[in-house]
């Protein structure tokens, strides 16, 4: 019930604001309408991100049932290089290195977490809507059958720590064809929920922080430590990348297989008072 009240207020305010000339004024950003896919409320079993230790030895992360009580919307395609370039032109996003042709057909790549959040803020301000990066849970829920379970399924081996390193390397090497050249939006097809290019060769930033946790034998988290300087990037396999890194291949570790490219796909929040007020504020001031 507590959740319902803001939602009701938001709806009322939205209806009131709908009559306001501000909202009908065409956006000056040159942005085409952003196609989104609604993701209905539901539950799924979610493999927690991060690294887990049981009695000082690495183990697979435990699974948790995650429930989304409200429907949310996610961009059907990753943010294009062309759209990101508009944000750069307006001074709200930092220019990319190498400036690949700012094509509307190619996904933007070579963006850091900071770039991704700056883009979300700009898009929100420009549209009066509330756009943000997804959490790792939201991404996993949306990915459906494209989600790669990063559990190794190995028995806990206290004699040979290298077994997990080798298994992880083999699992991630085997999945990849190592063609990192960005492909046109839609190249990797739709998943069962209608989202395009999930788990292609562009990984997507999420807001979820890196986590190291200690678990008991029955999978209860005993102790945990978050590092929000490193965020989860979701894709063919999970990656953990520092927020300022734009190219996971050079920012990665010496002996792992890093993400091919880093890109952006945003979630649109259901309308809320804050979103509308922020949007109005941005339009009035900007």
Partner 1 sequence: MLTRREALLGTVTGAATAALMTAIPAARAAAEAQPVDMAKLPRERVELVAPPFVHAHRQVATGGPKVVEFQLTVKEQPMVIDDDGTTMQAMTFNGSIPAPMMIVHEGDYLELTLVNPETNEMPHNVDFHAATGALGGAKLLDVNPGEQATMRFKATRAGTFVYHCAPAGMIPWHVVAGMSGTVMVLPRDGLKDETGKPLRYDRIYYVGENEFYIPRDENGNFKNFESLGQSYDETLKLMRGLIPTHVVFNGKVGALTGDNAMKANVGETVLFVHSQANRDTRPHIIGGHGDYVWEQGKFANPPAKDLETWFVRGGSAGAALYTFLQPGIYAYVNHNLIEAAELGATAHIMVDGEWNDDLMTQVRAPALIASY
Give the interface segment with partner 1, choosing from 38-46, 63-71, 179-187, 273-281 (CB under 8 A).
179-187
Which DSSP category does 84 fall into? H
Residue closer to partner 1, measured from CB, 52 or 119: 52
The binder of partner 1 chosen from 8, 18, 156, 165 (CB under 8 A): 165
Query: CA 149, CA 13: separation in Å to the nearest integer?
Result: 42
**3 state SS of 251:** helix
The binder of partner 1 chosen from 145, 181, 217, 220 (CB under 8 A): 181
Give the interface segment with partner 1, choosing from 1-9, 16-24, 76-84, 252-260 (CB under 8 A).
252-260
Site for partner 1 in 207-246 (CB under 8 A): 212, 214, 223, 225
Site for partner 1 in 145-164 (CB under 8 A): 159-163
Number of residues that bind partner 1 (CB under 8 A): 37
Query: CA 246, CA 7: separation in Å to the nearest integer?
Result: 37
According to DSSP, the residues that pair with 230 across neighbouring strands are: 242
User: Shortest CA distance to 208 belongs to which of 76, 39, 93, 46?
Assistant: 46
The binder of partner 1 chosen from 3, 19, 174, 217 (CB under 8 A): 174
Within 63-214, residue ranges assigned H as helices are 81-89, 113-127, 136-143, 162-174
Residue closer to partner 1, measured from CB, 8 or 104: 104
User: Shortest CA distance to 143 belongs to which of 196, 214, 96, 181?
Assistant: 196
Query: CA 244, CA 229: separation in Å to the nearest integer?
Result: 9
- Applying CB under 8 A, which residues contact partner 1? 53, 56-58, 97-101, 159-163, 165-166, 169-170, 172-174, 176, 178-181, 212, 214, 223, 225, 249-250, 254-257, 260
């Amino acid at each position: 019930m507590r959740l319902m009240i803001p939602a009701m207020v938001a709806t009322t305010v939205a209806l009131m604001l709908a009559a306001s000339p501000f909202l009908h004024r065409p956006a000056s950003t040159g942005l085409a309408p952003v196609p989104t896919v609604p993701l209905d409320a539901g539950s799924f079993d979610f493999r927690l991100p991060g690294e887990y230790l049981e009695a000082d030895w690495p183990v697979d992360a435990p699974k948790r049932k995650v429930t989304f009580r409200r429907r949310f919307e996610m961009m059907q395609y990753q943010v294009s290089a062309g759209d990101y370039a508009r944000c750069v032109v307006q001074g709200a996003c930092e220019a990319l290195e190498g400036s690949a042709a700012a094509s509307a057909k190619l996904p933007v790549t070579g963006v850091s977490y900071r770039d991704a959040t700056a883009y979300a803020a700009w898009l929100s301000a420009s549209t009066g809507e509330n756009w943000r990066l997804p959490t790792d849970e939201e991404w996993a829920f949306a990915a459906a059958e494209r989600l790669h379970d990063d559990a190794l399924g190995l028995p806990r081996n206290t004699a040979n720590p290298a077994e997990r390193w080798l298994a992880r390397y083999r699992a991630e090497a085997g999945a990849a064809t190592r063609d990192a050249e960005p492909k046109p939006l839609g190249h990797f097809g739709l998943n069962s929920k209608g989202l395009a290019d999930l788990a292609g060769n562009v990984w997507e930033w999420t807001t979820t922080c890196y986590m190291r946790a200690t678990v008991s034998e029955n999978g209860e988290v005993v102790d945990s430590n978050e590092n929000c300087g490193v965020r989860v990037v979701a894709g063919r396999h999970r990656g953990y990348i520092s927020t300022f890194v734009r190219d996971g291949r050079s920012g990665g570790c010496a002996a792992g297989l890093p993400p091919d490219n880093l890109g952006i796909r945003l979630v649109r929040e259901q309308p809320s008072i804050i979103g509308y007020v922020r949007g109005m504020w941005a339009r009035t001031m900007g």
